Structure 1
Amino acid sequence: MSAAYGADSTAMEVVDGLDLRDRTATVTGASSGIGVETARALASAGATVTLAVRDISAGERAAESIRASTGNRDVRVAELDLADLVSVRAFAAGWSGPLGLLVNNAGIMHVPELRTERGWEMHMAVNHLGHFALATALLPALIEAGDARIVSVSSSGHASSGIRFDDMFFDRDPYDAELAYGQSKTANVLFALEVTKRWALHGITAAAVMPGGIWTNLQRHWDPAVLADMKRRYPTKSAAQGAATSVYVATRAPLTPGAPVYFEDCHPAAIVTQIVDGLHGVVPHALDPVAAARLWDVSVELIAED
């Protein structure tokens, strides 16, 4: 199946011929970038799609664009701030009915040192713990769907750091934005690995994706000279191409216990000791089942009610 799709495929090409009218989907961070193109593709195939966003106005603009381009009026907007567990729980409490597709797309990258009210470093809070809290709160809806899938948007940046279990929030060591981002992207892969292990009995499976080299607002904190150099050196995808692997995992990829859990260019990625060309492959620390189980248990403790 995946042979038909590759690095140049768009999200719309991946869903061509699919009928998703019986599917409900939520895409976080869906007001721009690959998030909106993921939502657009799913809506174009008939899915009922909720854009889970911090900025409701931006979300409504994105939703109207999707409705206009796809003809699907079942595109909704709901507020979600992944850095705020109250917001996460309110989103889940407001959900009704089954949830067949959860695309954990929202994220931040290389931001200056920021912390949540709980003192959590912001990369780990938004990229992992907020999505972890969202998925676990929505578990009844995922179970109700019978065959739900979770897409965890990671990055080749995972190679820069495993999980810093002894100092996850840089309370002891000096803050390092690259390491903070890297461990949060490793967490995205480990989360997907553990979801399938723990929840496959409910029909729920998951995988992580590397979208590719896409230049969006995610890189707004980069040095402009570094960003310009990266654009010259590495292949660039459009947002629609970057969304293709998320949509492929959400709709077509074979996801079962023991199956590949990290995809790039609509294919399982090779396991490598060093990321190839800055973009390709998944390193072993992101596939460590012991780390995945430990991260899950730590995350459960961290998001527990006060």
Structure 2
Amino acid sequence: MSRITTPFTHDSTAAEVIAGVDLTGRRAVVTGGASGIGVETARALASAGAEVTLAVRNTAVGERTAAGIIESTGNNHVFVAPIELADRASVRAFAASWTGPLHILVNNAGVMAEPLNRTPEGWEHQFATNHLGHFGLTLGLYDALAAAGDARIVSVSSSAHLRSDIHFDDIHFDHRPYEAWAAYGQSKTANVLFAVEAAKRWASDGIIANALMPGGIRTALQRHVPDDVQKAWDRFQWKTVEQGASTSVLLAASPLVPGVTGRYFEDNNEAVPATQDDPRHGVAPYALDPESATQLWDLSEKLLAG
């Protein structure tokens, strides 16, 4: 397969990517749409005429965010619905409440590098939130996505996937020492593998799925990262939230990537293979491995069914 490239770059904004695109009549869900790049992803989609639902933990914050998007875009079809991705009942309730087709699903919400935290099931919380919650949500919305005929699923991953493959023998750190970044990296690898397998399983339904690295953006996502580590990051080339949302918007709505599926993008272009010379860019081979993708899908189904 040839590498997919676009005219957009590291510095492009979501507004630039969405310029000239008409999403009238299309419906979108953005998880974590009330903070960080989720806000700007939702704003860009709304600016192009889409109906956008912000799937959020805090609906009061979500309502304020929705009001701001409505004011800035003139699109009053911006709604808010509650979801707690680490809670299977909450995820099922969101999916069950959805009616009609769904054209765009942006699995954007997440937690990063938090201290060890477990769900009531005993699952490691980052994996449960970043992967299992979105996996369950997407499966729950499958009929709505299939009904759209040409739906797009966008999974927000990270260059942190380069920190860890999936440890199928001990995903939830029951036996190995817990390390926050390894856990985060594993969950971000899972986001890519999910896109790989969804692309394969659902191609006949017209559903495409891709994953992406948004870039380094200063947001509340880093709230668990120690101050000394964050200070050391000051030398990095940070993106604005408007720039950070651009690759999500590209994969969600741009006519430049029709039918492109099962791939991993960064800076608005398909990523190249990662190398040891640059540990912060590119995609790891294990994140695109079709056998691992199938194994993860099957395991995830079993976990959520238990």
TM-score by length of 1: 0.96
Task: Please tell me whether residue 135 in structure 1 is matched to residue 138 in structure 2.
Answer: yes
CA distance in 1, matches of 2:104, 2:120: 30
Cα drift, residue 274 of structure 1: 3.3
Q: 2:118 is aligned with what amino acid?
A: R
1:285 alignment counterpart: 286
Structure 2, unmatched stretches of 5+, are none
Cα drift, residue 231 of structure 1: 2.0
User: Closer, same or farther in 2 for the Cα pair 1:200/1:58, shift >3 Å?
Assistant: same
User: Closer, same or farther in 2 for the Cα pair 1:275/1:20, shift >3 Å?
Assistant: farther
CA distance in 2, matches of 1:49, 1:3: 25
- After TM superposition, list the pairs within 5 Å mapping 1:89-238 onto structure 2: 89-232=92-235, 234-238=236-240
CA distance in 2, matches of 1:224, 1:88: 33
1:84 alignment counterpart: 87
Aligned length: 302
Query: Which secondary structure does the structure 1 equivalent of 2:64 belong to?
Result: helix
Q: 1:124 is aligned with what amino acid?
A: F
- What value does the CA root-mean-square deviation take over the aligned residues? 1.3
CA shift digits 1:75-102 (9 cap, x unpaired): 0000000000100000001001000000
CA distance in 2, matches of 1:255, 1:136: 22
Give yes or no for contact 2:209–2:262 (8 Å, CA) kept in 1.
Answer: no
Give yes or no for contact 2:146–2:207 (8 Å, CA) kept in 1.
Answer: yes
CA shift digits 1:220-260 (9 cap, x unpaired): 1111121111122x111000100000000111253547x56
% same residue: 57
Q: 1:89 is aligned with what amino acid?
A: R
1:263 alignment counterpart: 265
2:51 alignment counterpart: 48
Query: Which secondary structure does the structure 2 equivalent of 1:274 belong to?
Result: coil
Q: 1:266 is aligned with what amino acid?
A: N
Cα drift, residue 37 of structure 1: 0.4
CA distance in 2, matches of 1:231, 1:287: 31
Q: 1:149 is aligned with what amino acid?
A: R
1:69 alignment counterpart: 72
Cα drift, residue 178 of structure 1: 1.1
CA distance in 2, matches of 1:39, 1:58: 14
Task: Please tell me whether residue 3 in structure 1 is matched to residue 6 in structure 2.
Answer: yes
CA distance in 1, matches of 2:284, 2:233: 21
CA distance in 2, matches of 1:207, 1:230: 28
Q: 1:285 is aligned with what amino acid?
A: Y
Q: 2:269 is aligned with what amino acid?
A: H
2:244 alignment counterpart: 242
CA shift digits 1:135-173 (9 cap, x unpaired): 000000000100000000000000111001000000111
Give yes or no for contact 1:104–1:152 (8 Å, CA) kept in 2.
Answer: yes
CA distance in 1, matches of 2:93, 2:237: 40
User: Closer, same or farther in 2 for the Cα pair 1:70/1:2, shift >3 Å?
Assistant: farther
User: Closer, same or farther in 2 for the Cα pair 1:55/1:12, shift >3 Å?
Assistant: same
TM-score by length of 2: 0.96
Give yes or no for contact 1:260–1:268 (8 Å, CA) kept in 2.
Answer: no
- Of 169-178 and 84-93, the range deviating more from structure 2: 169-178
Q: 1:237 is aligned with what amino acid?
A: K
Structure 1, unmatched stretches of 5+, are none
Cα drift, residue 273 of structure 1: 3.3
Q: 1:34 is aligned with what amino acid?
A: I
CA distance in 1, matches of 2:292, 2:286: 8
CA distance in 1, matches of 2:82, 2:49: 22
User: Closer, same or farther in 2 for the Cα pair 1:78/1:260, shift >3 Å?
Assistant: closer
